[in-house]
Amino acid sequence: MKIAKNIIISKKILLNHKFRTLLSLLGIIVGVCAVIVMVAVGNGTEEKVTSQITKMGSNLLLVNAGQVNIIAGRVRQTKTVTTLELKDAASIAEEVPSIKSVAPAQAKKLKVKYGSLSTNTNIVGTTADIVEIQNHSLTKGRFFDDDENNGLRRVAVIGKTVADNIFAQQNPVGETIYIGKIPFEVIGVFSPKGLDFYGSDQDDQIFIPVKTALRRLFNLTYINTIYVKVIDRNSMDETAKEINDIVREKHHLRAGKENDFTIMNQTAVLEVQQESSRTFTLLIGSIAALSLLVGGIGILAVMLISITERIKEIGIRRAVGAKRRDIIIQFLSEALLLSIGGGVIGITSGIAISIVVAAIANLPLIIPTDVVAASFISTFLIGVFFGVYPAIKASMLDPIKALQFE
């Protein structure tokens, strides 16, 4: 009963100074809200990256021409080189027993036209194995096969974005599009996959047979990437070493000479991206947590001002029999009401804002309960930490001097 009475009294006192109370609450509200939103967005981003990596293909090794590095979470090639050829992909497929499938690829952005409509899109020359490697599926038609690749057939499978841009509601299968000035028959349409973790639209591309692409469209003899799907994820490193040895031998690279290609583990790319996301979340979350400290200082200031304004009240309460612990409990109740009240509002606001941000940014909604619990406990500890000193100071006032205070 005594605690409930103290809470009621504290509430009345705080409501008597609404503006001051609001200002002291804001620091706690903003801090708790920001921490929850940042962690939720960070976790959502990490989950989305993981999901997108899976969509691009699991157990995947990428053999890239030249030197390739991961910079700021993105794969970047130092310069264009011509060291990979189709026969390298064939050698890997024949000589490495631990792989499931191999698909060479060469890509270039070109203008695509159908009737009066046109669009600039990514043209990918590859083989039928790319469907399994990158986990593609089709909503219409079919994918080209090895015979069409070897026969240099002009067939194409298009992404949903391309279909929307130049075909609108029309069924593209069976229609003829022009890539550059070369006619291609559309034989299939991919199921939508959305953006990859680099922010590129995976549906804004057209796949054609790689031999057709090199001979009839790009006029090239080299490729820039070989996709390799490994049977067992645990053998990724061993498989990468075997591929390294085979390609070095095919390229006649002597011992000690630097590779003219780069083998990248898709899992390693994922880990770099996730680590960047975690570091960013931790940094922003730490900055947001400082608002809690500011909020605590605000509570301390409000309580010290409150003591000055209520010296005579304290004196009267002591004169009619209130003990020091009663004064401590009263002021501590006010501090805790401010901090816990701000924490509850901050948690509610943080969850609400996280839901909105996740919906707008198309991110998975992940709000860790441990972060919510830690935020609530933090507000309680802040209330105690910054409320104890003013409470003790108030309780130590001399009753006689307090009554004489004007």
Quick one: tokens of 393?
Answer: 């100071």
- The whole-number average pLDDT for the span 282-288 is 70
Q: Which two tokens stand for residue 265?
A: 């583990």
pLDDT at 199: 64
Mean pLDDT of 195-215: 85
Q: Are 207 and 138 in contact (CB under 8 A)?
A: no
Mean of the per-residue pLDDT values for the chain? 81
pLDDT of residue 172: 92
At residue 167, does pLDDT exceed 50?
yes
Q: Determine contact, residues 149/209, Cβ cutoff 8 Å.
A: yes
For residue 150, is pLDDT > 90?
A: yes
Per-residue pLDDT tens digits for 335-384: 788 888 888 888 899 899 989 988 887 788 888 788 788 888 888 888 87
Tens digits of per-residue pLDDT, 86-111?
999 999 999 999 898 999 999 999 99
pLDDT value for 268: 67
Beta strands 117-126 and 205-209 are parallel
Give me the count of residues in the chain. Answer: 406
| pLDDT, position 72 | 45
**Pair type for strands 60-65 and 225-230:** antiparallel
Token pair listed for 188: 């299939």
263 vs 178, more confident: 178
In this prediction, residue 1 carries a pLDDT of 42
Tokens 């090794």 belong to which residue? 61
CA distances from 106 to 29, 74, 110, 367 (A): 53, 19, 13, 41
d(CA 155, CA 153): 6
- For 48-85, what is each residue's pLDDT tens digit? 767 766 666 568 888 988 876 554 444 555 555 678 89
Retrieve residue 94's tokens: 């024949």
Residue matched to tokens 């974005």: 161
Q: What are the percentages of helix, strand and coil residues in the chain, rounded to 5?
A: 55, 20, 25
pLDDT surpasses 50 at 234? yes
Q: What is the pLDDT at residue 15?
A: 61
pLDDT over 70, % of the chain: 78
Query: HSE-up of 115 (CA within 13 Å, CB side)?
Result: 10
Residue 122 scores a pLDDT above 70: yes
* List of E strands, 191-309: 205-209, 225-230, 261-265
Q: How far is it, in rounded angstroms, from Cα 302 to Cα 297?
A: 9
At residue 42 the predicted structure's pLDDT band, cuts being 50, 70 and 90, is confident
